[in-house]
């Protein structure tokens, strides 16, 4: 039943995305969770509290919001009918919690101005999806940032929610999105969030452990005749990434396209010396971004085929 529901969610989101008119009227489930997380951060994460108090409160917030997301959707599911109708309705309810179309559109908005030589436009578009300083990025840097976001978000925006939805249904996908949203908002090493966001960051690492590797496998499968190179780069370079999970889909994408990703980048005026993923690869541009989007589409088709097989 859950495989069919996740297939419905992918199909609806892949067709509609999350329409702007709907967003303007009711927002989005992630923004609802974000408002709750932001309120907890403002009221509980106080600088005059000792480190251990902030870490404990962060842990309680992490567990509380995850439990709330699970419990609310579990009650919702209990009202649904059984059988095919229930599976379809569950898939529709899970629709906003996957981001296939949304991710494709965001990255395509970076690629299009870059392809026309509009570096300023590409920088403005990439600033919407990455945290690094876009003013310091040349054309290759913009393409690299866009492709890294595509690879990482393929995992935590599509494969991971589908994975947890496949196992636990709507409560699983909702709880995962709550964890992932907490990590994106407070799971940082900044002075303000090093203690309060510790639990969110560690839990996010845990729940993405398997999905990140599955995403890499999907990219390898989708890479066709370049699958050996994609697999080799993944095996060698995935562990060099600063993240225990993001390096897997990024390395697979770098190998599939024959490009280098990661490397030094600037945050808040400071350069961080990150190692390269596939250091002998070429620097990417708009053409590689187009190839990356095509590869992402093929990987999502492979995921859909697997879900269809499980549903049948």
| Cα distances (angstroms) measured from residue 204 to each of 26, 154, 193, 230, 263 | 27, 15, 15, 25, 23
Rounded-to-integer distance, Cα 99 and Cα 10, Å: 8
User: What's the average model confidence in pLDDT over 140-158?
Assistant: 96
Residue 273 has pLDDT above 90, yes or no: no
146 sits in which H/E element: helix 139-153
Q: Mean pLDDT over residues 110-125, rounded?
A: 96
Q: Which residues pair with 282 in a beta bridge?
A: 259
pLDDT at 202: 97
Q: What is the pLDDT of residue 297?
A: 97
Are the beta carbons of 107 and 126 closer than 8 angstroms?
no
Please name which of 88, 89, 40 lies closest in space to residue 63, comparing C-alpha atoms: 40
pLDDT of residue 262: 87
133 — pLDDT class (breaks 50, 70, 90): confident
Confidence tier at 295 by pLDDT (50, 70, 90): very high
Binning pLDDT at 50, 70 and 90, where does residue 131 land? Answer: confident
| pLDDT > 90? residue 264 | no
CB 195 within 8 A of CB 144: no
Please tell me the predicted confidence (pLDDT) of residue 243: 86
**Whole-structure pTM value:** 0.95
- Computed over every residue of the chain, the mean pLDDT equals 94
Rounded Cα distance, 158 and 64, in Å: 24
What Rg value do the Cα atoms of the chain yield, rounded? Answer: 19
45-57 exposure pattern, b = at least 16 Cβ within 10 A, e = fewer: beeeeeeeebbbb
- pLDDT bin (cut points 50, 70, 90) of residue 266 is low
Q: How many CB atoms lie within 10 A of CB 91?
A: 24
| Interval 123-151 mean pLDDT | 90
User: For 267-293, what is the mean pLDDT?
Assistant: 86
| Cβ contact 249:241 at 8 Å | no
For residue 6, how many C-alpha atoms fall within 13 Å in the half-sphere facing its CB?
29
Closest by CA to 280, choosing from 236, 243, 226, 215, is 236
Please name the residue that has the structure tokens 């179309």: 101
Q: Within 10 Å of residue 28's Cβ, how many Cβ atoms?
A: 14
Span 90-108, pLDDT tens digits: 999 999 999 999 999 999 9
| 274 phi and psi angles, rounded to 5 deg | -80, 145
Q: What is the C-alpha to C-alpha distance for residues 246 and 223, in angstroms, rounded to an integer?
A: 18
3-state helix, strand, coil in the chain (%, to 5): 75, 5, 20
Confidence of residue 269 (pLDDT cuts 50, 70, 90): low
Region 161-175: mean pLDDT is: 98
């Amino acid at each position: 039943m859950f495989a069919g529901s996740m297939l419905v969610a992918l199909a609806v989101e892949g067709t509609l995305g999350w329409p702007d008119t709907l967003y303007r009227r009711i927002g989005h489930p992630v923004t609802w969770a974000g408002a709750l997380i932001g309120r907890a951060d403002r009221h509980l994460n106080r600088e005059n509290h000792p480190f251990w108090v902030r870490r404990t409160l962060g842990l309680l917030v992490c567990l509380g919001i995850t439990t709330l997301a699970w419990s609310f959707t579990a009650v919702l599911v209990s009202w649904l009918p059984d059988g095919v109708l229930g599976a379809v309705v569950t898939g529709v309810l899970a629709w906003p919690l996957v981001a296939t179309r949304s991710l494709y559109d965001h990255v395509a908005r970076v690629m299009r101005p870059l392809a026309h030589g509009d570096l300023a436009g590409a920088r403005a578009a990439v600033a919407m999806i990455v945290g690094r300083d876009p003013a310091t990025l040349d054309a290759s840097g913009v393409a690299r940032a866009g492709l890294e976001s595509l690879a990482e978000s393929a995992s935590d925006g599509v494969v991971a929610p589908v994975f947890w939805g496949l196992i636990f249904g709507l409560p699983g996908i909702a709880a995962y999105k709550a964890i992932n949203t907490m990590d994106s908002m407070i799971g940082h090493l900044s002075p303000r969030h090093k203690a309060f966001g510790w639990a969110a960051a560690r839990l996010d690492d845990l729940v993405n452990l398997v999905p990140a590797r599955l995403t890499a496998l999907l990219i390898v499968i989708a890479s066709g005749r370049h699958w050996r190179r994609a697999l080799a780069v993944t095996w060698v370079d995935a562990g060099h990434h600063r993240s225990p999970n993001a390096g897997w889909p990024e390395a697979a994408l770098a190998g599939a396209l024959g490009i280098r990703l990661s490397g030094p980048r600037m945050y808040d005026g400071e350069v961080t010396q990150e190692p390269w993923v596939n250091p002998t690869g070429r620097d990417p541009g708009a053409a590689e971004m187009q190839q990356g989007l095509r590869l992402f589409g093929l990987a999502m088709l492979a995921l859909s085929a697997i879900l269809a097989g499980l549903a049948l």
